[in-house]
Amino acid sequence: MAVPALARQDADDPAPLEHAPSPRSWGRAFGDIRKAVDQRELWGHLGWQDIKQRYRRSVIGPLWITISMAVTAAALGGLYSQLFGQPIGTFMPYVTVGFMIWYFISACVLEGTETFIANEGLIRFLPAPLMIYVFRTVWRQILFFAHNVVVYVIVLAIFFGQLDQPYRMVNVVPGTDGEPGILHPGLSWWALLAIPAFIVIVINGMWVTLLFGIISARFRDIPPVVGSFMQLFFTMTPIIWTTDLLQGGAPGSIKAIIEQLAKLNPFYHFIEIFRAPLVGQVQSWTHWAVVGVITVVGWSLALIALRNYRSRVAYWV
Amino acid sequence: MVSIEVRGASVEFPIFDAKNRSLKKSVLGRAGGRISEQKVPVVEALRDIDLTLGEGARVGLVGHNGAGKSTLLRLLAGIYEPTRGRASIRGRVAPVFDLAVGMDPEISGYENILIRGLFLGMTRREMERRVDEIADFSELGDYLNMPLRTYSTGMRVRLALGVVTSIDPEILILDEGIGAVDAAFLEKARDRLRDLVGRSGMLVFASHSDEFLVELCDTAIWMDGGVIREQGPLRDVVSHYKGRDVFENLSPETIERLERASVTGP
């Protein structure tokens, strides 16, 4: 049967064969994203389903997410504040917020590598935009995150008295002659900056999931490698320790070098833009600048990967 | 406008985990596509497919196991984009492939209906409106509240067919698995599929069952070793493939019904 001349066509209608764009085109890549956004009911439902699934037949269900977060924050916050000799009233909120956002970021990276592999059955049997699975994965992490916000609210309620005034995380920086740590301004309306920070982190979570998902679908060594690196990054990122401890090293000393190295860790900057406002700490705009650059570079790489390999993923999984 | 156009399309799978050594020996195996000798072995599941299907096409797909039927269906569903050549699919596609996949065994039949519908481009509200009709058609009743893992294969087929036929797809793609239902339901499903095809749809259907093919299709494609070996009227193609006339064994009533349908049908 002949294909009729192309008079009017809506945007979703693929062009007839002669004009069909090649599988590797920007049009198809952005079309994939647009269609996935249109199908938000689908990935929204699948994301919820994932959480319900994990706690199926458990009595308090997703409340376990909140409880386990609370236990972690209390135990590690309590332990490390004593180990480092830091006031618990300011250290506990610091650890809680750090964990909250670290869980989100590391889950985007770790589950991002699995995003297409885990949805293999759906990808190979139902025609759907690839971005559905990316959105599903990130949406699931957002829902987890929302459960953990409860813990922050509780911790804040308990320690508000210590946080709403200027405070020092570290009274005396170790290895110096009694030099005091940085004086933080305390909680203020700047805390609202955490909202755009979280949005930026989510936007980054999407490119991470997309890019790592595509690479991992092709190279199955990536997920375990990423897994062990994330373990390393957890200890290298100031989550259960603070960079305030690294202040005041003499130029050229090991301490000063470590302080510089800590800044090379991209996760540090992501954590900082979200955590600093929520615990009333000094906020440096360099973190935002670094995050901005990573966002642009990361999305560019992810879009190139989507353009070139979108149609290949079904063959790889 | 519903149409499928495929020109010179090939589908080649890279097999990353295969051992080269053992593959070299089996390059000329009978079943399956050709396997090339490269660094990463490639299975050529489909080669140089040319196909044009228009509104109202009812195509049966026959061929041995591994001849490329399922791969061709997935190419037509838009799941695989050809590695060489072009494919253009216009119209809303609803595929039913392997029934164990794409459904979540842990959640209820209702939820699976909803998710399946969302995947096929429905909204949640549209699916909620159809759920009673699907429950009615599939005759699953209260079972829809049970997790899917408690379903038999036949019950899953009922569910899947209920969903795809209720959403009025323009292109319906069925793999052979749907033969797993009982005769009474088959009859019901057949009527519904005929209806659907009558309403401007298109049907591509892989099956080994003569009866199903003659009831639902009017043309056929014979796949062999990843290429289209023959394409044409159903009776000719299937007879060549099977080496006997498939219409010979049909009961007179069936033939009568078919003739009646082809007169009143599209």
Q: Could you give the 3-state DSSP secondary structure of residue B9?
A: strand
How far is the C-alpha of A138 from the C-alpha of A182, rounded, in Å?
A: 35
Lowest mean pLDDT among A9-18, A210-219, A241-250, B195-204: A9-18
| Residue A124 belongs to some domain of the structure | yes
How far is the C-alpha of B62 from the C-alpha of B237, rounded, in Å?
A: 9
Q: Which run of H or E residues covers position B229?
A: strand B227-233
Q: Are both B202 and B236 inside the same structural domain?
A: yes
Q: Are both B39 and B83 inside the same structural domain?
A: yes
DSSP E strand stretches across B91-224: 93-96, 171-174, 202-206, 219-224
Q: Are A219 and A197 in contact (CB under 8 A)?
A: no
pLDDT score, position A4: 38
Q: Are both B33 and B113 inside the same structural domain?
A: no
Q: Is the ipTM of this complex over 0.90?
A: no
Q: Are both B27 and B132 inside the same structural domain?
A: no
- Give pLDDT tens digits for A36-82: 999 999 999 999 988 888 888 788 888 888 899 999 989 999 999 89
Q: Which of residues 9-28 of B touch A (CB under 8 A)?
A: 13-14, 16
Cβ within 8 Å, pair B79-A126: yes
Q: Are both B86 and B133 inside the same structural domain?
A: no
Cβ within 8 Å, pair B102-A16: no
How far is the C-alpha of A292 from the C-alpha of A105, rounded, in Å?
A: 16
Q: Is the pLDDT of residue A116 over 70?
A: yes
Domain count along chain B = 2
pLDDT score, position B34: 64
Q: Are both B81 and B185 inside the same structural domain?
A: yes
Question: Domain end: B112, B145, B168, which one?
Answer: B168
The CATH number covering residue B254 comes to 3.40.50.300
pLDDT winner (highest mean) among A185-189, A302-306, B25-29: A302-306
Residue B196 domain boundaries:
3-91+170-264
pLDDT score, position A247: 80
Nearest chain B residue (CA) to A15: B88
Q: Could you give the 3-state DSSP secondary structure of residue A61?
A: coil
Q: Are both B259 and B174 inside the same structural domain?
A: yes
State the best of B2, B3, B112 to mutate against chain A, taking most chain A CBs within 10 Å: B3
Q: Are A207 and A294 in contact (CB under 8 A)?
A: no
pLDDT winner (highest mean) among A132-136, A167-171, B136-140, B187-191: A132-136
Cβ within 8 Å, pair A20-B114: no
Q: Are both B140 and B228 inside the same structural domain?
A: no
Question: Domain end: B145, B168, B191, which one?
Answer: B168
The CATH number covering residue B158 comes to 1.10.8
**Residue A29 CB partners (closer than 8 Å, separation 6+):** A303, A306, A307, A310
How far is the C-alpha of B177 from the C-alpha of B66, rounded, in Å?
A: 15
Residue A274 domain boundaries:
26-316
How far is the C-alpha of A99 from the C-alpha of A91, rounded, in Å?
A: 12
Encoded amino acid at A115, one letter? T
Q: Are both B37 and B119 inside the same structural domain?
A: no
Q: Are both B85 and B62 inside the same structural domain?
A: yes
Question: In three state form, how does the secondary structure of B193-222 look?
Answer: HHHHHHCCCEEEEECCCHHHHHHHCCEEEE
Torsion region of A184: left, alpha or beta (phi above 0 gives left; psi -120 to 50 gives alpha):
beta
Q: Are both B118 and B21 inside the same structural domain?
A: no
Which residues of chain A neighbour B74 with C-beta distances below 8 Å?
124-125
| Residue A8 belongs to some domain of the structure | no
**Span B173-192, mean pLDDT?**
79
- Give pLDDT tens digits for A130-164: 999 999 999 999 999 999 999 999 999 999 988 88
Mean pLDDT of chain A: 88
| Residue A157 belongs to some domain of the structure | yes
Q: Are both B162 and B214 inside the same structural domain?
A: no
**Span A119-124, mean pLDDT?**
88
Our CA-based measurement puts residue B251 at a distance from the nearest CA of chain A, in whole angstroms, of: 33
Q: Is the pLDDT of residue A2 over 50?
A: no
| B93-96 sheet: strands from edge to edge | B93-96, B171-174, B202-206, B58-62, B219-224, B227-233
Domain count along chain A = 1
